[in-house]
């Protein structure tokens, strides 16, 4: 398994990926939705990296 968390190996547009996934569920996903998602998601990843929450907790929050 290969991870590229900082986009040094592969360029991946997170907004486009989430938008494509949501479209598959017939859900409209906007830039505003993505901004709100990032406000919640980024601090959780920091907490996981710092050992404050587990990977399992990250999945369910």
Among candidate residues 4, 6, 7, 13, the one labeled active-site is 4
CA distance 20 to 22: 6
Name the residue among 33, 34, 36, 41 with its Cα closest to residue 58: 41
50: which 2 tokens? 């710092």
The answer to whether residue 13 is catalytic is no
Which residues are catalytically annotated?
A: 4
């Amino acid at each position: 398994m290969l991870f590229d968390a900082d986009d040094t190996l592969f360029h991946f547009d997170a907004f486009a990926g989430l938008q494509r996934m949501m479209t598959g569920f017939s859900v409209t996903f906007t830039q505003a939705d993505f901004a709100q998602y990032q406000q919640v998601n980024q601090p959780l990843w920091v907490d996981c990296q710092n050992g404050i929450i587990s990977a399992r907790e990250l999945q369910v929050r």
